[in-house]
Amino acid sequence: VNNGKKDMQIYDEQSTVLIVGGGLVGLSQALFLQYQGIPFVLVERHAETSILPRARGLHFRSMEFYREIGLEQEILAAGAESIKQQSGKPGGLRIGETLVTAQAQQIGFNLHNLMGMKELTPTSFCFCPQDILEPILLAALRQRGGDVRFSTELTGFEQDENGVVATIVEVGNVTTRHLRTDYLIAADGAHSPIRDALGITTSGKGTLEHYLNIYFLADLSELVQGRTFSQCQVENTHVRGTFAALNNTDRWIFHLSYNPEAGEKPEDFPPERCLELLRQAIGVSDIAIEIKSIGPWEAAVRVADRYQQGRILLVGDAAHLMPPWGGFGGNTGIADAHNLAWKLAAVIRGQATPALLSTYEMERRPVACVAGEQAALGTDVYTRYRIATATNAKDLEQQIDPLLVTLGYHYHSTAVIENGLVASAPTDPFTLTGEPGTRAPHSWFKRQGETVSTLDLVGTNFVLLAGEKGEAWCEAARMIAAGSGINLVAYRVGPTGDLQDLENEDTENHDHDALLVRPDGFVAWQSSQDTPATQETLSEVLKHILAWYPQIPLQGTSEKPA
């Protein structure tokens, strides 16, 4: 990608947002923007979505986003279909010299707990490999009228203070087009040519291990009968690597470890050699195997030092690369896209100033750093699954914690008004209380006869939740919404309110309180005992969140945005 100079006046077409990259995160970004009603063009250089089933598990936070845009049931059904043929429960870890001899391990941290956390989320963890998920996202985008252009590549761009001119070309065609866009989102993957062209550096532990991802078909159903697994780690004198089960019958991945320090290169592993190594890893010499693809990848931690340069924003692997252990990479990228979508929409609609966009990096970069550290911890299979051995007790003290990356983080930014107490320790997701900066706790409510989660109340709007005696707050919110056009919906919570909390009957202590939740489900602000329930209070709060500067310092805080 060439970041050269070009006459900014000359262009063939215009868009509000250009998304470069139609992988997992680019497609999700497009869907989230579409849901916000923001026009976009998405370009992807490949003709089709990737056939590589890289990410396999969607953490429940990702499923919350897909629930919001109406794709939860379809994704759950596709995930269920993909594992229907399995003989036995998916999940579990095996370790041994070969797949045939590998023994089941007692996993210390039960990942299934993460999958069935009914009290934390209205949805659930979903097993749905990336090669099954991406076509669903793409089909939904097209069905909903999205301008999605596959076989189209970005070859250059230039930005000024008013926009970006992107040079795009249909693959195989020589005629380039210049597209002028207000914002450009780089979802162009781990090697992000856009990030490089902008000169944005990365930090982190760097490369930890080298692998070849071998995606293959082989009927191993009899071999794994009664001993299904999620991952199986094998090591013998010929081969070292990890089997990842896609359906525990005929679709598999083997991550073959190779060592560049010993002079090994990906080219040293042609399909014939991979076949031989696969048979040595399985432990059966004459098994029929069809290799679908072989691709090198690095287990590495690299987080971009900046997520934004002018009107260009990085998301997904372009912003952060991390090893797949714990399944954080794709899930963190999807959450980036969700965080960015409502902010960009608010700025484009003129409801926020562009300064709101700087909170994207403030909020998401620290999460990527923690996710990267956690994923790096998982490099050792014993630490990854908290499996105690005679010598690793110390390592286990620093165990990987998927819940920390899923929900246990706390945003500190100008798009949050903190209560004065800045949490230094990770948030305990089990005790979410509505502290500003945390994801609003999920609770089931009755609303005019239907059952909805706290998270079903947001999406394209802010929501103000007031106590049962908080009519003044609701009235203030309605006045602001009507006068400003800001999407703000207000509810009184309580037995006689607009929402009846089906789980916490004791809401009396919060009768006069108010809580403002952002469109992404994160708590923006909480009233204190003596906060006046007026339109002025609420409008100052919103001005602060939406970055309308200069602004009056808020009660109880001297904080001013930078």
Ligand X SMILES: Cc1cc2nc3c(=O)[nH]c(=O)nc-3n(C[C@H](O)[C@H](O)[C@H](O)COP(=O)(O)OP(=O)(O)OC[C@H]3O[C@@H](n4cnc5c(N)ncnc54)[C@H](O)[C@@H]3O)c2cc1C
Q: How far is the CB of 421 from ligand X (least distance, A)?
A: 32
Q: Of the two residues 188 and 468, which places its CB atom closer to ligand X in the complex? A: 188
Cβ nearer to ligand X, comparing 256 with 463: 256
The site that binds ligand X (CB under 6 A) totals a number of residues, namely 36
Q: Is 316 in the site for ligand X (CB under 6 A)?
A: yes
Asked whether 450 and 499 are in contact (CB, 8 A), the reply is no
55 binds ligand X (CB under 6 A): yes
Concatenated DSSP letters of 465-479: EE-TT-HHHHHHHHH
Q: Which of 79, 122, 241, 327 binds ligand X (CB under 6 A)?
A: 327
- Give residue 314's identity as a one-letter amino acid code: L
Site string for ligand X, 500-539 (x = CB under 6 A): ----------------------------------------
Alpha-carbon distance of 98 to 240, in angstroms, equals 9
Tell the smallest beta-carbon distance from residue 471 to ligand X (Å).
Answer: 44
Residue 19 vs 99, nearer CB to ligand X: 19
Question: Going residue by residue from 198 to 237, which x/- string records binding to ligand X, judged by CB under 6 A?
Answer: ---------------x------------------------
Applying CB under 6 A, among 44, 363, 498, 513 the residue interacting with ligand X is 44
Please answer whether residues 363 and 87 qualify as being in contact, where contact means their C-beta atoms are separated by less than 8 angstroms.
Answer: no
CB of 378 to ligand X, least distance (A): 11
> Two tokens at 295?
């691709």
Q: How many CA atoms lie within 13 A of 5 on its CB side?
A: 0
- Least Cβ distance, residue 168 to ligand X (angstroms): 8
Applying CB under 6 A, does 292 fall inside the site for ligand X? no
What's the count of helices (H) and strands (E) in the chain, helices before strands?
14, 25
The span from the CA of 305 to the CA of 287, in Å, is 47
With CB under 6 A as the contact rule, which of the stretches 114-122, 198-206, 222-230, 312-320 interacts with ligand X?
Answer: 312-320
Q: Check residue 177 for interaction with ligand X (CB under 6 A).
A: no
One of 72, 188, 435, 468 touching ligand X (CB under 6 A): 188
- Residue 154 CB, shortest distance to ligand X, in Å, is 4
Phi/psi class of residue 498: alpha, beta or left (left: φ > 0; alpha: ψ in -120 to 50)? Answer: alpha
C-alpha to C-alpha distance for 430 and 439, rounded to whole angstroms: 11
The C-alpha atoms of residue 425 and residue 408 are separated, in whole angstroms, by 9
Choose the binding region for ligand X from 4-12, 23-31, 141-149, 547-555 (rule: CB under 6 A). Answer: 23-31
User: By C-alpha distance, which of 370, 372, 363, 362 is closest to 329?
Assistant: 372
- Residue 287 Cβ, how far from ligand X at the closest point, in Å? 23
Residue nearest to ligand X as judged by C-beta position = 23
Smallest distance from the beta carbon of 371 to ligand X, in angstroms?
Answer: 9
Number of Cβ within a 10 Å radius of residue 104: 14
Minimum CB separation of residue 185 from ligand X in Å reads 11
Please check whether residue 325 is in contact with residue 375, taking contact to mean a CB–CB distance below 8 angstroms. yes
Q: Residues 89 to 148: which contact ligand X by CB under 6 A?
A: 130
57 touches ligand X (CB under 6 A)? yes
Structure tokens at 112: 């299934």
Give the range of 181-189, 256-264, 269-277, 541-549 binding ligand X by CB under 6 A: 181-189
For helices 358-377 and 329-348, angle between their N-to-C axes, nearest 10 degrees: 180
**Residue window 251-290: x/- pattern of binding to ligand X, with contact defined by CB under 6 A:** ----------------------------------------
* Backbone dihedral angles phi then psi of residue 147, each to the nearest 5 degrees: -85, 90
Comparing CB distances to ligand X, the nearer of 49 and 453 is 49
| Neighbouring C-alpha atoms within 13 Å toward the C-beta of 462 | 32
Q: Which is nearer to ligand X, 25 or 99 (CB)?
A: 25
Single out the segment in contact with ligand X by CB under 6 A; choices: 48-56, 350-358, 403-411, 510-518.
48-56
Binding residue for ligand X (CB under 6 A) from 31, 43, 274, 465?
43
Do 465 and 526 form a contact (C-beta atoms < 8 A)?
Answer: no
Considering only 17, 23, 480, 533, the residue that binds ligand X (CB under 6 A) is 23
Nearest-angstrom CA–CA distance, 271 and 292: 10
CA distance linking residue 349 with residue 37, whole number of Å: 10
- Residue 264 CA to residue 259 CA, distance in Å, equals 5
Strands 514-517 and 462-466: antiparallel
The answer to whether 178 contacts ligand X (rule: CB under 6 A) is no
Q: Which of 231, 247, 331, 406 binds ligand X (CB under 6 A)?
A: 331
Minimal CA–CA distance to 404: which of 315, 336, 328, 324? 328
Name the site residues for ligand X (rule: CB under 6 A): 1, 20-26, 43-46, 54-57, 130, 153-154, 187-190, 193, 213, 297, 316-318, 324, 327-331, 333
